[in-house]
Chain A
Amino acid sequence: MLEFQLDARRGGFHLQVECRFASAWTVIFGPSGAGKSTLLRLLAGLDRGRADEPVHGRVALNGHELTNTSRHLWVNPGMRRSGMVAQQSALFPHLSAAANVAYGLQDANGHQDVYGRREWTRAQRAQRVDEMLELVGATELVQRRPAEISGGQAQRIALARALAPGPKLLLLDEPFSALDGAASDALLDRLQAWTSANGVQTILATHDVSDALATSAEVLLLREGRQVALGPAAEVLAQERERLLGRLGSN
């Protein structure tokens, strides 16, 4: 279960949200500029705010606080056990697909480190990379560099890279924008099966209604940095549809 209450300013933009996600798969839905990416970055701990643009609030995953500004608590992104896939894949251009996927697998003796992250032996690492590439349907890309693969393939590799270390929280920011509908749906299905089997709290940010409906879970509707609705996908999206149609009618 993920709970957060956040108040952040970025230039003229003001994000204010307070939510509790009960289900393991939640969609953040909203037009571009609604604050989806900002919210995901805050959840990941990537943005800490600055003196002139402070961040206030609290983030807790399964009862563990990751951020609590009133207690000056801010867990380092690398220790949150959260994975993120952004729209622009952000693969390391100088590394092969396999090396990208292996990057987050701590190199050690197969024990857990103090943060509960698993450490991997060489053989375990290689096996994990193979598993992940298979999961995302990219086994043929092992030795390819990011410059040699398509945008959709890059998104698959980026997903494999985020999943490999075994995150507890998975943050997806329009992750399949470069894949066509059928490929995106198939990957989404496999991903959902994997995250529920591994107990991963997943948040998918999208402005695509079909993505929001396809995963048919909880939807948080964001608009201009404010949360407009939170509830079952069908309900929230139907309301939004009414509103948009209403606006169309009044024009």
Chain B
Amino acid sequence: MDWQAFALTLRLASITTILLLAMAVPLAALLVLGRARWLAAVEALATLPLVLPPTVLGFFLLVLLGPHTAIGRAITKLFGHPLAFSFDGLVIGSVIYSLPFAVQPLVAGFAAVPEALVDAGRLLGASPARIVITLLVPLARRSLITAAVLSFLHTVGEFGVVLMLGGDIPGATRTLSIVLYNQVENFDYGAADRTAAILVGLSLVALAAIYSKGHARGGSRA
């Protein structure tokens, strides 16, 4: 068992999930509360990673973050090292790759909050930020949990982006799904079984946690 890869995968998924929620909550709120027409384009862009082959996304990011673009050079300067083939680069890739999995449940959850409540908040002088924090987030609690768990699991399971952008560097970019790939490539099916079992177990536990929460409240949607 490659514990280093296990720890790296959990670290990657945790950091990605926290960053994603911090971005997706305001983004989803903007999409639901905003009136501007260009928001449709933003929503399309935020959903794009859902339909893009991960290898395509990984390749674009590899080029974008590499030394051949202005952005890549600027980021290299900022971080002090190139982001391609590094853990930081992997975090950026994962955030983009899993963005729809965080944004979509939140958009659905926020949109389900009755407009009359948002109007009441606005009339009582609440700023948009206060409406999001005190009304939308608590009333769409379950969507927030769903978004967090889906982002986490989607990051744990990602492969194409990691391989393209991160390569296979132990302790930096070698995640469990890369380990599994290597084990299969080496015909080490016994080890591959164990790695796969861990990936499945991790997903099952997390999903069961979401669903049990729903059933505890009589299956009611909050």
How many A-B pairs have beta carbons closer than 8 Å: the answer is 57
Answer yes or no: B80 CB below 8 A from chain A CBs.
no
Judged by a CB distance under 8 angstroms, whether B169 is at the interface is no
**Structural contact, B35 and A94, CB atoms closer than 8 A:** no
Number of interface residues of A (CB under 8 A): 28
B35 touching A50, Cβ below 8 Å? yes
Q: Are A79 and B125 in contact (CB under 8 A)?
A: yes
Q: Tell me the complex Cα distance, A117–B124, Å.
A: 11
Q: Tell me which residues from 55 to 111 in chain A have a Cβ below 8 Å from any Cβ of chain B.
A: 76-80, 82-84, 86, 88, 90-94, 103-104, 106
- Evaluate contact between A77 and B139: CB separation under 8 angstroms: no
Picked from A48, A50, A51, A78, the residue with its CB within 8 Å of the CB of B124 is A78
Most chain A CB within 10 A, of B35, B125, B135, is at B125
Known interface pairs A92-B135, A94-B139; A104-B119 also in contact (CB < 8 Å)? no
- Contacting B at CB under 8 A, from A94-147, are 94, 103-104, 106, 117
List chain A residues, Cβ under 8 A from B117: 90, 92-93
Q: Please give the distance in Å from B142's CB to the nearest CB on chain A.
A: 13
CB within 8 Å of A: which B119-133 residues: 119-127
Interface string of B1-43 (1 = CB under 8 A from A): 0000000000000000000000000000000000101000000
Which residues 132-187 in A have Cβ within 8 Å of B in the complex?
Answer: 161-162, 165
From residue A82, how far is it (CB to closest CB) to chain B in Å?
7
Question: In whole angstroms, what is the CA distance A84 to B120 when docked?
Answer: 8
| Chain B contacts for A117, CB-based, 8 A | 125
> Whole-angstrom distance from the CB of B20 to the nearest CB of chain A?
24
- Asked, given contacts A88-B116, A94-B138, A94-B139, whether A165 binds B124 with beta carbons under 8 Å apart, the answer is yes
Name the contact of B126 in the complex, choosing from A78, A82, A93, A162 (C-beta under 8 A): A78
State whether the Cβ of B114 lies closer than 8 Å to any Cβ in chain A: yes
Are A46 and B119 touching (Cβ within 8 A)? yes
Take A86-B116, A90-B120 as given contacts and tell me if A104 and B125 are in contact as well, using a CB distance cutoff of 8 Å. Answer: yes
Nearest A-chain residue to B126, judged by Cβ? A78
Q: Would B120 and A78 count as touching, CB distance under 8 A? A: no
B 112-156 binary contact with A (CB < 8 Å = 1; else 0) = 001011011111111100000011001100000000000000000
How many residues of B are counted as interface, with CB atoms below 8 angstroms from the partner's CB atoms? 18
Q: Are B138 and A83 in contact (CB under 8 A)?
A: no
Q: Which of B114, B119, B124, B138 contacts A103 (CB 8 A)?
A: B124
Which B residues are CB-close (under 8 A) to A104?
123-126
Is A77's CB under 8 angstroms from B135's CB?
A: no
Q: Does A8 contact B (CB under 8 A)?
A: no
Whether the Cβ atoms of A82 and B123 lie closer than 8 Å is: yes
The reply to whether B35 and A90 contact each other, CB–CB distance below 8 Å, is no
Among A44, A48, A50, the residue within 8 A (CB) of B123 is: A44
Q: Is the CB of A48 within 8 A of B125?
A: no
A83 touches B123 (CB 8 A): yes
Contact present for A165 and B114 (CB under 8 Å): no
Asked whether, in the complex, the Cβ of B123 is within 8 Å of the Cβ of A84, the reply is yes
Chain B nearest CB, measured from A175 CB (Å): 13
Chain A residues near B120 (CB-CB < 8 A): 84, 90-92, 161
Q: Which of A1-48 contact B (CB under 8 A)?
A: 41, 44, 46, 48
- Chain B 98-123 near chain A by CB (<8 Å), digits 1 or 0: 00000000000000001011011111
- Bound: A124/B1 CA distance, A: 61
Contact status of A46 and B135, CB under 8 A, knowing A88-B116, A90-B116, A92-B117? no
The answer to whether A78 touches B125, judged by C-beta atoms less than 8 angstroms apart, is yes
Known: A86-B116, A92-B135. A161 touches B124 (CB 8 A): yes
Q: How long is the Cα–Cα vector from A77 to B126 in the complex, in angstroms?
A: 10
Smallest Cβ distance from A132 to chain B, in angstroms? 13
Separation of A79 and B134 alpha carbons in the complex (Å): 19
CB <8 Å contact, A46 and B123: yes
Residue of A nearest to B139 (CB): A94
Which of the residues A48, A88, A162 comes within 8 Å of B35, measured between beta carbons? A48
Q: List 14 A-B contacts (CB under 8 A).
A: A44-B123, A46-B122, A50-B35, A76-B122, A77-B122, A78-B126, A80-B123, A82-B123, A84-B119, A86-B116, A90-B119, A92-B117, A94-B138, A103-B121
Q: Which 9 A-B pairs have the closest CB atoms?
A: A104-B124, A78-B125, A90-B116, A77-B122, A90-B120, A77-B123, A94-B138, A46-B119, A103-B124
Known: A92-B121, A104-B124. 4 other contacts (CB 8 A): A78-B127, A86-B116, A90-B117, A117-B125
